[in-house]
Each structure stands twice: as structure tokens, then as C-alpha cells.
């Protein structure tokens, strides 16, 4: 661990310690009667913890740090209890209750959460976004603060390898995105899958998007599960929610197996990944507001397939509505 990083962590730890002392002072000020002086000795940082925190630069010393953290936590909480609930101080029930609540809150906050690599990744990612996007486009974010006007509603898989904003380089405000297992859209049903219905309804009625895009992708675990659903009598390898969800794609599976019997499993899987997109596009037509928007010419349905193995993307337009019938032009006399 770099020295500067160790110093930063110690600094953060000291800040938390300062906050704890402030809480204690606020509690003592709350009392209308005189209490014992605060025993600052019981609240001092443990030398064992600080030494372990500063000197540790390897995985082998983590256990020592954790032990010191627990010791620090226990001593701080016990010190608070002795200070605030002394035998020499008779507290009424209301004050007693507030003190216990504060102690319980501190117990939840201690030990101090040492920053880890995962938290640092989030922090660094946000700083990069703020520097390279937010700070570079002040006018855009000023407009987004008023309202959003995305042109796309995107249904994509929850798979961490297929983020629509990354694939299409979307800027904030360009796409209204819904992600789920295997990027599936269920048929219209006012009793089941209402979260999908809410997304579609809001995107069309409120946001008035111009496009609905359903993106499939290579090596989709959800579609693979669909293709290998266990027999109804086999309860050894079932999931509580996943199996029921991917059954939305059963029509796609049936079509692929009927039309491509004998192909290797890998080829069947890829075909089903694409056909599942078409199945979802067909299900979109069961939503009345989707049909109305398409009939009026304000909405286009698009399918897409992202092959992240080869870095390839293909798209297609679905159910292109026929051009409106124009009245015959008057013939010259």
C-alpha cells in the first residue's frame, strides 16, 4: 500500500472519531442536569489499531487490523455507556430512551468502514465521469435538470458485458433503459410483470420515445437456460424466479428447434438469442399504447444483436407500418 494511501485512510478514521466526540458533546448538552465530565481517555484511539492501520501493507496483517477494530469499537461504545448512563445520574425515561437510541446508532456505525477496492472503483469511476462528461457539458445537464426527452426505450440484458450506454456511447438523456434477464419483454398483462408494463407505458405516454430497441447478445446465460429448461418433474436444478421468467421466450425456442433440427447446440443457442428478440418485439405489439404509437407513425420497433466476442452489432426494423394511403391526385381536365 502506498504511504499516501495509508495517510488518507488514517485521516478518514480520525474524522470519524471527531464526529463521535461531537455526538457525545451534543448528548451531554441535551441533559438539563449536570453529568460527569467526559472521560476522554476512554475515547482515545487505540495505539494498537493505529499501528496496524499504518504499518499494514500485506494481506497477512488483515486479521490483526480486524481484531484492533473490534477492540476499538467495544471500548468506544462501552465508554459512551459509562459516561452517559452513570449510576450517579438519574435520568428520566425520555432522556434514557434518547441516550439508548444514540448508543445503538453508534454501534451500527462502528467499526469504521475502511475503504476497499470496490468502493474505490466506484469513486474513481464517478470522478472520471464528472471530469470528462459532467463538467464538459454544463448546458446538457442544465437542460436535463428540467426534463428528459430520450428518443429510445431500450430493453437490454442485465449481463454486465452488454451495457447499452457503453455499446452505443449514449449520453445522459438519450435512452430510457430497462434491463432484465435475457432482455425479454412479456406480453401485456395487467396482473403479471407490471414493472415492464410501467416502463413501456411511461416511455410512450410520458416521454414519447420514438424508438423501442430490444438488444440480444452472444453467450446469453438466460437464453441458454431457456434452451435447457429441466423437466417439470426434475426439481434438482431449478431456480425460484429465473425459470419462470425465461419461459417468456418459449415461442422462440419452439420456432428455432422446429426449423433447425440437427444443428449443434452452440448454433441453436445463437439462433435462439436472435429469435428471442423477435419474440419480445412481437410481445410489444400486445400493448395498446405501443400499437397506437406505431399506427400514428410516431414509434418504430427495432431489434438488435450484439456479439461481444467479435465486436459486432446488427440491427433490424420490425413490423414496419405501411405508408399511409394518400388520396388520389385530381386529374387535369
With CA atoms as reference, report the closest residue to 252 among 188, 332, 182, 191.
182
Round to whole Å and give the CA distance between 235 and 147: 48
How many Cα atoms sit within 13 Å of 283 on the Cβ side? 25
248 and 283 Cβ atoms separated by less than 8 Å: yes
Round to whole Å and give the CA distance between 68 and 47: 9
The three cell numbers of residue 105 are 446508532
217 is in an annotated binding site: yes
Round to whole Å and give the CA distance between 283 and 286: 5
Q: What are phi and psi of 65, to 5 degrees?
A: -65, -45
Task: Walk across the sheet containing 211-217 and list its strands.
Answer: 175-180, 152-157, 211-217, 300-307, 312-318
With CA atoms as reference, report the closest residue to 13 among 39, 40, 41, 52.
52
Query: Quick check: is 220 catalytic?
Result: yes
With CA atoms as reference, report the closest residue to 73 among 45, 114, 39.
45
Q: What is the DSSP string of 15-30?
A: HHHHHHHHHHHHHHHH
Of 6, 161, 291, 302, which one is the catalytic site residue?
161
237 is in an annotated binding site: no
Query: Quick check: is 161 catalytic?
Result: yes
Round to whole Å and give the CA distance between 288 and 308: 34
Query: Quick check: is 157 catalytic?
Result: yes
Question: CB within 8 A of 273, min separation 6: which ones?
Answer: 216, 217, 218, 220, 223, 305
Helical ranges in the chain per DSSP H: 3-30, 47-55, 62-84, 93-109, 117-129, 138-144, 164-167, 194-201, 221-227, 242-246, 250-259, 265-284, 288-295
Of 6, 81, 179, 220, which one is the catalytic site residue?
220
8-state DSSP, 42: G
* Residue count (the chain): 333
116 is in an annotated binding site: no
307 is in an annotated binding site: no
The three cell numbers of residue 123 are 469513486
Q: Which residues are catalytic?
A: 157, 159, 161, 217, 220
The annotation places the binding site for Zn(2+) at 157, 159, 217, 220
Binding residues, by number, are: 157, 159, 217, 220
Amino acid at each position: 500500500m502506498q504511504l499516501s494511501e495509508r495517510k488518507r485512510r488514517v485521516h478518514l478514521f480520525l474524522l470519524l472519531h471527531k464526529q463521535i466526540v461531537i455526538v457525545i458533546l451534543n448528548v451531554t448538552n441535551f441533559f438539563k442536569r449536570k453529568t460527569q465530565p467526559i472521560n476522554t481517555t476512554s475515547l482515545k484511539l487505540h495505539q494498537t489499531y493505529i499501528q496496524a492501520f499504518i504499518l499494514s501493507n500485506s494481506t497477512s496483517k488483515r486479521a490483526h487490523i480486524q481484531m484492533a477494530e473490534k477492540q476499538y469499537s467495544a471500548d468506544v461504545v462501552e465508554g459512551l455507556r459509562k459516561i452517559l448512563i452513570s449510576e450517579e445520574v438519574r435520568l428520566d425515561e425520555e432522556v434514557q430512551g434518547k441516550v439508548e437510541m444514540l448508543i445503538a446508532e453508534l454501534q451500527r456505525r462502528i467499526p469504521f468502514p475502511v475503504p476497499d477496492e470496490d468502493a474505490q472503483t466506484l469513486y474513481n469511476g464517478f470522478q472520471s465521469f464528472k471530469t470528462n462528461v459532467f463538467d464538459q457539458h454544463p448546458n446538457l445537464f442544465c437542460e436535463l435538470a428540467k426534463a428528459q426527452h430520450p428518443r429510445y426505450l431500450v430493453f437490454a440484458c442485465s449481463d454486465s458485458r452488454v451495457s447499452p450506454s457503453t455499446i452505443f456511447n449514449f449520453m445522459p438523456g438519450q435512452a430510457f433503459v430497462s434491463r432484465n434477464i435475457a432482455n425479454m419483454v412479456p406480453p401485456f398483462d395487467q396482473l403479471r410483470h407490471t414493472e415492464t408494463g410501467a416502463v413501456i407505458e411511461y416511455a410512450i405516454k410520458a416521454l414519447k420515445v420514438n424508438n423501442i430497441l430490444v438488444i440480444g447478445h452472444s453467450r446469453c446465460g438466460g437464453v441458454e437456460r431457456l434452451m435447457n429448461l429441466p423437466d417439470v418433474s426434475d426439481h434438482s436444478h431449478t431456480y425460484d424466479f429465473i425459470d419462470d421468467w425465461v419461459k417468456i421466450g418459449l415461442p422462440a425456442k419452439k420456432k428455432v428447434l422446429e426449423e433447425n433440427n440437427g444443428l449443434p447446440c452452440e448454433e441453436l443457442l445463437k439462433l435462439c438469442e436472435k429469435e428471442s428478440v423477435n419474440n419480445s418485439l412481437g410481445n410489444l405489439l400486445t400493448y395498446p399504447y405501443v400499437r397506437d404509437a406505431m399506427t400514428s407513425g410516431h414509434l418504430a420497433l427495432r431489434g438488435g444483436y450484439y456479439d461481444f466476442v467479435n465486436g459486432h452489432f446488427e440491427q433490424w426494423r420490425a413490423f414496419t407500418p405501411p405508408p399511409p394511403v394518400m388520396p388520389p391526385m385530381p386529374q387535369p381536365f
